[in-house]
């Protein structure tokens, strides 16, 4: 390949090894299947809370985390299963948490909305819209002060961009040039409220200008676009040049949560987006560019399916927390 | 005093707690053009708990306003609107999100009238879906009413029945001062007979829901129902409970509580919020500094929430707040002198 | 005067009558003298709280209110004496409030930080930075829903522009096209923190773009500049075209409050700004354009001085509130 | 238990309450590079109450960080920093502004450890200058500690003396969990002897500041001083008061209170916050449900703030919170059986 050809090559192919790309595909499948199984568990009455599924947003989650080092950190949202998988979580412990089991990531105390994976750098989903944004900035402050070199990637939704916490956090991250990448996953709705009805600017990314930081809107369902944009922001953050705002345009196929009657959008709209499945798109891309064969792709998918089934079995077999432990971890136990 | 006591059943309809709230809002929107509803997803979505339902169809987006996800600003806009002629009813999607708006609720809504020497008033209603039991974990299950009851300038009500949900809401809308309404999410589906049309239930008035002689149970919101169930169980073992539905926690109807305690000589406060610094502390202290104190034959018992954030796991979640069994056993112990 | 000449004339001369302009000068003097007397009272121990003086910002306050109709409304800040005077307050009742007297605007309950004048459309100063911003938007919502035709002008400082309330309020005002004019009085510091250290954009007015509303930065010490900018925004608001953000560049001569040691800025900086006294500037402008003579200007000033002295005498002679009335107005008394 | 009781006076220095806080922060900044200070105008300005003073000169802007005026974001950044290795001490300029940050304090800081199954901790300290008496009116004079004491996951302390201001702050910084410190603004200038160098005062331990036999006064913060003054007056008329400085209101040192009540048989709670739903309610209820209840010879009295926002006028302001005279007369009435 000539230098010239390499430059015209899609970003992901220049930056990631085939194994990394296969792993990305694997993670997308895991997310889709995790969500599908979660939904199914809910239907069958195995779950007593609600859940926020990210089906349709798999590429955004995986692509955004792709440029991160293992030691980098993320903060996530109520719609956080995908982010968690993308950052390398163990599916078994995720299901166990979802089922409220002692073997879960939060020992059954947090559930779907609070899954975290500290070892892998996922500082946690958050039940409060925009609640994780200042926390991400705080983690970036730790990185800068403690000189750990970590970059923090902060996920939030389009709805979150109208919270005061968004404004205050982006402002301070900019004032202090902190190593944080803000990824706003714009799936067109905050619950039932469309971006048009909540946010008067054309692109949420345009708001970056109010903080004098770079802002870019990209197709979050296009693996090359999202990885390239995040990569640039990560490089910038790592170099001490401060934060960036990336708007990842995507779509959620399912309702906001289980109580959603989908009255605020049309079937047609949903169908159009479903017909542009981001996982299919990524798989085709990989096959087209001979990163893998169609057969290999199928194997990845079926392995993912197996992983999911094993994880569910593990979770189901796991013990519930003991009621007598209810007060554990409210405070840190200290040697007397 | 039950304001609809005098009304025949022809004027009554069975409705759920959330239908009763919707009915009250419908009546208010119909009767008073100054009334508007504000909140997240209260329009076409019908509200996270389907309380506003289809009201947007009837009254339009200008009066049933979906707000962006901006609780501080939304609450503040409601305050400003109330100050200048509208009568906003602001819905928090979950009461937990009031943590984002405490500034406007406490520093502004509660104090503006006083700070301005009485020149203005803030006829604002806020609705807070509260409580645990939905598996939504620590950030969506809190009962924070004690915070607001600590703030002069606010009124705080906690209707337990569909009838009060409607009557207290209509009273709140009529009230010239800010009224905060805590609605337990698990109550939305309970049914009850509710008077049709306009009526108000008085703010600041408690109601004896069951008469008894051995012990007074003062309860709020969902705990009224649990206390009534417990009272039935306790009756079987010969313990006669008087159950008071407090209804308003600011201002508190002390007299109803005092009279009851003078009669029964024992007091138990039942509430879902974290026990420490909750409503039970206030009821207990109020009695302990009153003449009713001399009538007490036993320590004052508080049955409140456990001292932990609400956990996700459903067994732990249930164990975090008083259940009927807990009430039965603790009250029995108290009456039997074991406490 | 030809059409052409009229177009080149300074804005204020084209829009306001000489009497209106003289009254504006009178108000500026009243503000300066009110603040000076307030400071003096504090020094002499007549006041037990703190205060935030707006000396140096008189033109910004008066110029901003100039385009408003009497029935229009404002919300103000902790540094609110000037806004209050500008909107037409009675100085006697202001002093009475400042002295905590029953005859004060708030019957002695609010004090300096809460002076309001509902009859004149001043909805009140506010002790919470940015606390008045959503309230102003709410008042604008009332105007729109109740069709009163009122415009609401919302004052706040540069420091306030980093509060979440700023972001949420401007966003909703824009989404709903409410008749509100946001006037950010940028006096270079939020307490000790310079705008450069708190706000990464060049002009705060640039943040208007994040809400898709017009934003303009003007010299708030230039009567023509500030009145023209606010006038345009008021016309726009009155026409139902929604909010605007105006950044009024100004400077406070005194410390933030009485506890300020002025460590964060230089004497030179203060002196430069003091040498460009906005009241002198406005007076010279009026004299130059023959709106009044130097003598008339002096008379206005000395009359203002007299008004202040009378007001102080009134306030001093006024009764304190009764302690037995302490619980009055916590709630609205209602007929039983 | 006074941790410096055993120390000779050579190791002691007289300092003001605010100097003691600054000293603690200085020591912590010196000893532990993870410690940072955050807040509005805490740098070159030295803090609104001059508590941080010149620390920025010594440690630089990276460790003594002026924040923009953004309490929610600032508090949240402190939470995130605490979660990931720093030990932030966040100063609210006035405790009233905590109303803007309740989301991060209550939903995040207090709950993260529990929600995450104990995988992390949040070693965060927040300082809240609180209380009235400065003529700053309703939005700058509140005492909101009861709100935070209602929240499992937080610890809440209220030092009354320079020594405790230092010792409890150093204990808070060492603590792995979030500790909220309420400092009464009128205390900043009081002086006292304070041990030099590093020491901690235990969180959760109350102290009897004066022994007595007729009545127990449980007080917090500035009310400890007012109660001690009242006790002197009361002694003159033959009433012997035991004065307890509660110091920590979450968790409360119940045993110290119970033992005292068993001895004196009378209990008065003295605090500045609005009486209703304040710390007095909790103390009263805690005693009324304990075995100490049987020892009570009189109603439990609460002397708390009036049921109004703090007014500007200084006479009204004074009348809004308990003063020494009020304590003297109400306690005398109680002991003389007039209540
Ligand atoms: C502070 C707060 N307000 C409201 C909610 C309720 N809520 C949960 S998710 C959601 C919509 C969020 O929209 P967005 O940020 O776009 O994320 P998405 O659900 O689309 O992924 C709302 C309103 C909440 N959890 N927290
Ligand atoms: C929410 C809040 N945070 C902090 C303060 C303390 N405070 C009062 S005024 C002020 C500075 C405000 O700066 P700016 O908005 O620029 O107004 P200016 O004082 O310059 O007129 C601060 C920090 C407050 N009153 N409210
Ligand atoms: Mg969305
Ligand atoms: Mg300023």
**pLDDT band with cut points at 50, 70 and 90 for residue D83:** very high
- Cα-based angle C198, C168, C133 (whole degrees, multiple of 5): 80
CA of A191 to the centre of ligand 1 (A): 6
Asked if C182 and C244 touch (Cβ cutoff 8 Å), the reply is: yes
Q: Report yes or no on C333 lying in a domain.
A: no
Same domain? For B184 and B287 the reply is: no
Chains B, D: CB contacts within 8 A come to 159
Which chain B residues are Cβ-neighbours of A160 within 8 angstroms? 69
Q: DSSP letters along A10-59, please? A: -HHHHHS-HHHHHHHHHHHHHHHHHHHHHHHHHHTT---S-----TT-HH
* 8 Å CB contact of A326 and B308: yes
Q: Report yes or no: A206 at the C interface, CB cutoff 8 Å.
A: yes
Phi, psi of C200, deg, nearest 5: -75, -10
Q: Supply the pLDDT for residue B7.
A: 53
Decide if B307 touches A, using CB distance below 8 A. Answer: yes
Residue D288: give the domain boundaries: 207-335
CB of A127 within 6 A of ligand 1: the answer is: yes
Beta strands in A109-210, from DSSP E residues, in sequence order: 152-157, 180-186, 189-190, 193-194
Nearest to A212 by CA among B20, B101, C199: C199
What is the count of structural domains for chain C?
1
Neighbours of chain D (3+ CB pairs under 8 A): A, B, C
Is the same domain home to B59 and B127? yes
Whether B200 maps to a domain, the answer reads no
Cβ of C189 below 6 Å from ligand 2:
yes
Which residues in chain C have their CB less than 8 angstroms from residue A174's CB? 200
Whether D138 and D61 share a structural domain: yes
Q: Considering the domain boundaries, does residue D202 fall inside one?
A: no
In a domain, B26, yes or no: yes
- Residue B196 in contact with residue B167, Cβ under 8 Å? no
- Token reading at D89: 């001490």
Could you tell me if residue B294 is inside a domain? yes
If contacts are CB pairs under 8 Å, which of residues 54-113 in chain C contact chain B? 73, 75, 104-110
Torsion, CA B31, CA B36, CA B39, CA B43, rounded to 10: 70
Has D150 been annotated as catalytic?
A: no
Rounded CA gap, A107 and A97, in Å? 6
Contact D70 C263 (CB under 8 A): no
- Residue A118, helix vs strand vs coil: helix
**D97 touches ligand 2 (CB under 6 Å):** yes
How close D63 comes to chain B (CA, Å)?
28
D70 CA → ligand 2 middle, Å: 10
**In the Cβ-directed half-sphere of D234, how many Cα atoms lie within 13 Å?**
31
Among all ligands shown, which has an atom nearest to the Cα of A259? 1
In the reported structure, the alpha carbon of residue A156 is separated from the centroid of ligand 3 by a whole-number distance in angstroms of: 8
Pair (B189, B299) in one structural domain: no
Catalytic, out of D19, D40, D91, D140: D140
pLDDT at D339: 85
Domain end among D148, D175, D195: D195
Partners of chain B (3+ Cβ pairs below 8 A) = A, C, D
Whether A270 is covered by a domain: the verdict is yes
Q: Are residues B43 and B88 in the same domain?
A: yes
Q: What is the pLDDT of residue A334?
A: 76
Residue A4: is its pLDDT beyond 80? no
pLDDT for the residue numbered C6: 63
Q: How confident is the model at residue A196 (pLDDT cuts 50, 70, 90)?
A: very high
CB atoms within 10 A of CB A324: 8
pLDDT tens readout for residues C170-210: 999 999 999 999 999 999 999 999 999 999 999 999 999 99
Q: Which residue has the tokens 């010149």?
A: D54
- Selection from A124, C127, A95 nearest residue B116 by Cα: C127
Find the helix or strand (DSSP H, E) in which B15 lies. Answer: strand B12-16
CB C94 within 8 A of CB C87: no
- Name the active-site residue from D19, D40, D71, D183: D71
Predicted confidence band of residue D288 (pLDDT cuts 50, 70, 90): very high
The residues that bridge with B219 in the sheet, in sequence order, are B245, B270
Q: How far is Cα B312 from Cα B318, in angstroms, rounded to an integer?
A: 10
D217, D241 Cβ separation under 8 angstroms: yes
Q: Residue with the nearest Cα to atom 13 of ligand 2?
A: C190
User: Which residue in A114, A207, A266, A323 has the most chain B C-beta atoms within 10 A of its own C-beta, making it the best mutation to test that interface?
Assistant: A323
Helix H or strand E encompassing C182: strand C180-186
Mean pLDDT over all residues of chain A? 96
Question: Which residue of chain A has the CA closest to B48?
Answer: A259
CA end-to-end span of chain A, whole Å?
66
| Preferred mutation among A101, A163, A328 to probe B, highest tally of B CBs within 10 A | A163
| Domain around A257 | 15-313
Same domain, B189 and B224: no
Pocket test for ligand 1, best of B69, B98, B134 (most atoms within 8 A of CB): B69
* Domain end position, chosen among B195, B222, B251: B195
For chain C, 336 residues long, the average pLDDT of each consecutive 10-residue run is 70 97 98 97 89 97 98 98 98 98 98 97 98 99 98 98 98 98 98 98 98 98 98 98 98 92 95 98 98 98 98 98 98 81
CA of residue B253 relative to chain centroid, distance: 14
Burial of A3 (0-12, 13-18, 19+ CB in 10 A): exposed
A 109-148 residues with CB below 8 A of D? 109-110, 114, 116, 118, 123-124, 126-128, 131, 133-143, 145-146, 148
Whether residue B220 is found in the same domain as residue B275: yes
Question: In the annotation, is D140 catalytic?
Answer: yes
Q: What is the mean pLDDT of chain D?
A: 96
pLDDT, one tens digit per residue, over A246-271 is: 999 999 999 999 888 899 999 999 99
Q: Does residue D107 sit at the C interface (CB-CB below 8 Å)?
A: no
Partners of C275 in beta bridges? none
D80 shares contact with chain A (CB less than 8 Å): yes
Give me the half-sphere count of Cα atoms (radius 13 Å) on the Cβ side of residue A297: 19
Report yes or no on A253 lying in a domain.
yes
Residue D37 CA: distances (Å) to CA of C30, C236, D94, D145: 42, 45, 16, 21
Cα of C240 from ligand 1 centre, angstroms: 30
Q: Among the three residues D195, D215, D242, which one is the final residue of a domain in this structure?
A: D195
Whether residue D2 has pLDDT greater than 60? no
Q: Is residue C328 part of a domain?
A: no
What per-residue confidence (pLDDT) applies to B161?
A: 98
Q: Which atom of ligand 1 is nearest to the CA of A57?
A: 21
Beta strands in chain A (DSSP E): 73-75, 152-157, 180-186, 189-190, 193-194, 215-219, 244-249
Distance from CA of D152 to the nearest CA of A (A): 7
In angstroms, how far is CA B220 from the centroid of its own chain? Answer: 7
Residues 6+ apart with CB under 8 A from B170: B24, B27, B28, B198, B199, B200, B201
Residues B202, B3 contacting (CB under 8 angstroms) = yes
Q: Is residue D200, in this structure, part of any structural domain at all?
A: no
C326 closest CB neighbour out of D72, D314, D316: D316
* Nearest ligand, CA A130: 1
Q: Quick check: C143 and B104 CB within 8 A?
A: no
Q: Of the candidates A168, A200, A210, which has its C-beta nearest C201's C-beta?
A: A210
Give the whole-angstrom CA distance, residue A11 versus residue A13.
Answer: 5
Any domain includes A335: no
**Ligand 2 pocket test, candidate residues D93, D94, D128, most atoms within 8 A of CB:** D93
* Residue B275 Cα distances to A284, B319, C304, D115, D144, angstroms: 58, 13, 60, 20, 18
Say which CATH number the domain at B170 has.
3.40.50.970
Task: Check if A326 contacts D (Cβ < 8 Å).
Answer: no
pLDDT (0 to 100) of residue C334: 76
Q: Which atom of ligand 1 is nearest to the CA of A130?
A: 1
Interface list for B 177-206 with A (CB within 8 A): none
Contact status of A45 with chain C (Cβ, < 8 Å): no
Task: Provide the phi-psi class of A130: left if phi over 0, else alpha when psi is between -120 and 50, else beta.
Answer: left
The residues facing A219 across adjacent strands are: A249
Does residue B229 share a domain with residue B266? Answer: yes
Residue D201 lies in a domain: no
Number of domains making up chain D: 2
Give the distance from residue A124's alpha carbon to the nearest chain D alpha carbon, in angstroms. 8
What's the pLDDT score for residue A49?
Answer: 86
- Are D230 and D314 in the same domain? yes
Q: Is the pLDDT of residue D126 over 50?
A: yes
H helical segments located in chain C: 3-8, 11-15, 18-43, 58-65, 81-86, 91-98, 132-146, 164-175, 195-198, 223-238, 267-274, 278-288, 294-317
B33 and B85 Cβ atoms separated by less than 8 Å: no
| Domain annotation covers residue A331 | no
Q: Is the peptide bond before B49 cis (omega within 30 degrees of 0)?
A: no
**Chains touching chain C at 3 or more Cβ pairs under 8 angstroms?**
A, B, D
CA proximity to D328, closest of D200, D241, D263, D218: D241
Residue A142, domain CATH: 3.40.50.970
Closest CA to D301 of B289, B295, B291, B300: B289
Tokens of D35: 């410690």
Name which of B327, B124, B130 is nearest B227 in CA terms. Answer: B327
Closest by CA position to D14, among listed D208, D189, D224: D189
Three-state SS at D208: strand
List of chain B residues with pLDDT < 50: 1-6
Residues of A in contact with D116 (CB under 8 A): 105-106, 109-110, 114, 116, 118, 124
| Assigned domain for C336 exists | no
Mean pLDDT of A239-249: 98
Query: B48 and chain A: CB distance < 8 Å anywhere?
Result: yes
pLDDT band at A5 (very low <50, low <70, confident <90, very high): low
Q: Is there a single domain that holds both residue D118 and residue D220?
A: no
D173 and D282 in a single domain? The answer is: no
Task: Give chain B's length.
Answer: 339
Task: Compute CA A132 distance to the chain's CA centroid, rounded to the nearest angstrom.
Answer: 13
Rounded to whole angstroms, the Cα distance separating B148 from B104 reads: 12
Catalytic entry in B19, B40, B71, B317: B71
Partner-chain residue, chosen from B103, B277, B293, that has the shortest CB–CB distance to D100? B103
Q: Whose CA is nearest to atom 3 of ligand 2?
A: C129
Residue D318: CATH number of its domain: 3.40.50.920
Give the mutation candidate from D29, D107, D116, D248 for the A interface (greatest A CB count, under 10 A).
D116
pLDDT of residue B334: 97
Q: What is the pLDDT of residues A97-127, one digit of tens each?
A: 999 999 999 999 999 999 999 999 999 999 9
- For residue C225, is the peptide bond before it cis, meaning its omega torsion is within 30 degrees of 0? no
**Does some domain include residue C2?**
no
D118 within domain boundaries? yes
Q: How far is CA A16 from the centre of its chain?
A: 19
Nearest CA in chain C to B87: C142
D183 and D239 both lie in a single domain: no
């Amino acid at each position: 390949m000539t230098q010239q050809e390499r430059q015209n090559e899609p970003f992901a192919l220049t930056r990631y090894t085939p194994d990394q790309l296969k792993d990305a595909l694997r993670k997308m499948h895991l997310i889709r299947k995790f969500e599908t199984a979660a939904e199914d568990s809910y239907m069958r009455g195995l779950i007593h809370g609600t859940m926020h599924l990210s089906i349709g947003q798999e590429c955004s989650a995986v692509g955004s985390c792709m440029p991160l080092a293992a030691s980098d950190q993320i903060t996530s949202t109520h719609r956080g299963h995908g982010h968690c998988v993308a950052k390398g979580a163990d599916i078994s412990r995720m299901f166990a948490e979802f089922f409220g089991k002692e073997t879960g990531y939060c020992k059954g105390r947090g559930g779907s909305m609070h899954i975290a994976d500290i070892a892998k750098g996922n500082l946690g989903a958050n039940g409060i819209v925009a609640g994780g944004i200042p926390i991400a900035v705080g983690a970036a402050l730790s990185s800068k002060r403690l000189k750990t070199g970590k970059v923090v990637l902060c996920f939030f939704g389009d709805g979150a961009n109208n919270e005061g916490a968004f404004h205050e956090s982006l402002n301070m991250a900019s004032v202090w040039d902190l190593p944080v990448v803000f990824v706003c996953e714009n799936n067109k709705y905050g619950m039932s409220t469309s971006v048009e009805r909540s946010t008067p600017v054309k692109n949420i990314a345009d708001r970056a200008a109010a903080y004098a930081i770079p802002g870019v809107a990209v197709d979050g369902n296009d693996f090359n676009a999202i990885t390239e944009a995040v990569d640039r922001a990560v490089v910038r953050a790592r170099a001490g040049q401060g934060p960036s705002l990336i708007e990842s345009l995507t779509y959620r196929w399912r309702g906001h949560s289980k109580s959603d009657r989908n009255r605020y959008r049309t079937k047609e709209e949903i169908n159009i987006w479903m017909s542009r499945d981001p996982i299919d798109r990524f798989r085709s891309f990989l096959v087209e560019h001979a990163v893998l064969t169609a057969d290999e792709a199928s194997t990845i998918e079926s392995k993912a399916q197996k992983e999911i089934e094993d994880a569910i079995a593990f979770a189901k077999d796991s013990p519930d927390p003991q009621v007598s432990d209810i007060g554990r971890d409210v405070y840190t136990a200290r040697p007397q | 005093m039950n304001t609809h006591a005098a009304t025949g059943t022809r004027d009554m309809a069975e409705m759920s707690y959330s239908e009763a709230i919707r009915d009250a809002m419908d009546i208010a929107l119909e009767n008073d053009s100054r009334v508007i509803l504000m909140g997240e997803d209260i329009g076409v979505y019908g509200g996270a708990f389907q309380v506003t339902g289809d009201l947007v169809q009837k009254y339009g987006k200008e009066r049933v306003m979906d707000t962006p996800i901006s609780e501080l600003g939304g609450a503040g806009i409601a305050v400003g609107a109330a100050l200048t002629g509208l009568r906003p009813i602001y819905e928090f999607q979950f009461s937990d999100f009031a943590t984002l708006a405490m500034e406007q609720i406490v520093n502004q809504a509660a104090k503006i009238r006083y700070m301005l020497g009485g020149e203005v008033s803030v006829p604002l209603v806020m609705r807070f879906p509260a409580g645990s039991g939905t598996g939504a974990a620590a950030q969506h299950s809190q009962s924070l009413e004690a915070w607001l009851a600590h703030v002069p300038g606010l009124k705080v009500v906690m209707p337990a029945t569909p009838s009060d949900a409607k009557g207290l809401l209509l009273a709140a809308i009529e009230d010239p001062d800010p009224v905060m309404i805590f609605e337990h999410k698990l109550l939305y589906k309970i049914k009850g007979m509710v008077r049709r049309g306009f009526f108000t239930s008085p703010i600041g008035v408690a109601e004896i829901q069951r008469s008894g002689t051995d012990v007074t149970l003062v309860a709020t919101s969902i705990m009224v129902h649990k206390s009534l169930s417990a009272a039935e169980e306790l009756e079987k073992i010969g313990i006669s409970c008087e159950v008071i539905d407090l209804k308003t926690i600011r201002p508190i109807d002390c007299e109803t509580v005092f009279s009851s305690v003078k009669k029964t000589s024992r007091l138990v406060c039942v509430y879902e919020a974290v026990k420490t610094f909750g409503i039970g502390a206030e009821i207990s202290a109020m009695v302990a500094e009153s003449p009713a104190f001399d009538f007490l034959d036993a320590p004052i018992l508080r049955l409140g929430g456990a001292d932990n954030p609400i956990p996700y796991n459903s067994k732990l979640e249930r164990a975090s707040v008083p259940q009927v069994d807990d009430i039965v056993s603790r009250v029995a112990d108290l009456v039997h002198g074991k406490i």
